[in-house]
Homo-oligomer: A and B are copies of this chain.
């Protein structure tokens, strides 16, 4: 797994728990891609008009997850005063997107896949935030 490799080869590892850090980065990256795909899948549905809120929240979630993955990945001069609110904001974006996808998961497979990715990412962000003390 390449994220773990690049984290492990850092010359100045942070004091953040490495397993929690790697898991958070991996889930953010996955969730950013899945939310991009889900918003695009929603846009291509015949009932796209019913999915406007889902599209919007998935776009937000993709943007926040992408930024969070980068901030969490960086270990040089890590700053908890930035890391913590960023990870907490990401959990909030995942929660909103996951809750909305859950409403459509019975009708649209991409929403089902996306809900699961959002839930995993929210949990990974919560776990990392909790570890920051």
Please list the residues of chain A having a beta carbon within 8 angstroms of any beta carbon in chain B.
2-3, 5-7, 9-12, 25, 29-30, 32-34, 36-38, 40-41, 43-46, 48-49, 52-53, 55-57, 59-60, 62-64, 66-67, 69-71, 73-77, 79, 81-82, 85-86, 88-89, 92-93, 95-96, 108-110, 112-114, 117
Instruction: Determine whether the beta carbon of B96 is less than 8 Å from that of A33.
Output: no
Complex CA gap A3/B114 in Å reads 10
Known: A40-B75, A63-B70. A6 touches B34 (CB 8 A): yes
| Residue from the list B2, B75, B81, B114 in contact with A6, Cβ < 8 A | B114
Say how far A87's CB is from chain B's closest CB, in angstroms: 8
